């Protein structure tokens, strides 16, 4: 092995080790006392309820109909849509909106004290649930 090959291999190994040790937002939340919610807990939280949730600086309202239809709107206007959702036996909530092209995006829901967040498959926080209320629509 030449010195150049050795240095290239060492740099690649160090980069991989750093990437492998990077904790996702989901892992951090779980390490800090968060608990992944069960399918039953997720259903109790959202089904038949209007849910106010924040993504970044935007606030949304969603209504999770008992028949697995999902409707949503951006507070203040600018977006509204309808799609479908399902709660899995694997303790996730999966959603499909028209932009998803029929595919479902599944999210892990974590409660940490009074905070509830949804995380995507890569472990990135997507929404923080601010409030839920029993409703029959938005």
What value, to the nearest 5°, has the Cα angle with vertex 8 and ends 3 and 11? 120
State both tokens at 121. 């498959």
The Cα 118–Cα 111 span in angstroms is: 9
Domains in the chain, CATH or no CATH each: 24-134 (2.40.128.640)
Query: What integer best gives the mean pLDDT of the chain?
Result: 89
pLDDT in tens, 18-77: 445 689 999 999 999 999 999 999 999 999 999 999 999 999 999 999 999 999 999 999
**Whether pLDDT at 17 is above 90:** no
Strand-pair partners of 119: 108, 125
CA-based radius of gyration for the chain: 19
pLDDT computed for residue 7 by the predictor: 39
The alpha carbon of 92 is separated from its chain's Cα centroid by a whole number of angstroms, namely 9
State both tokens at 132. 């839920």
Strand-pair partners of 85: 95
Calculate the dihedral angle through the C-alpha atoms of 51, 52, 56, 58, rounding to the nearest 10 degrees. Answer: 120
**Whether pLDDT at 123 is above 60:** yes
Reported pTM: 0.82
Torsion sign across C-alpha atoms 95, 109, 64, 71? negative
pLDDT computed for residue 137 by the predictor: 85
**Whether pLDDT at 104 is above 90:** yes
């Amino acid at each position: 092995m030449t010195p150049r090959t050795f240095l290239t291999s060492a740099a690649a190994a160090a980069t991989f080790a750093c990437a492998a040790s990077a904790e996702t937002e989901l892992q951090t939340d779980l390490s800090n006392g968060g608990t992944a919610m069960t399918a039953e807990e997720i259903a109790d939280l959202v089904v038949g309820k209007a849910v106010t949730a924040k993504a970044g600086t935007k606030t949304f309202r969603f209504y999770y109909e008992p028949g697995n239809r999902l409707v949503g709107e951006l507070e203040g206007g600018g977006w509204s849509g309808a799609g479908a959702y399902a709660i899995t036996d694997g303790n996730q909530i999966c959603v499909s909106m028209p932009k998803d092209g029929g595919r479902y995006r599944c999210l892990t829901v974590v409660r940490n004290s009074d905070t509830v967040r949804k995380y995507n498959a890569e472990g990135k926080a997507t929404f923080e649930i601010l409030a839920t209320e029993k409703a029959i629509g938005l």
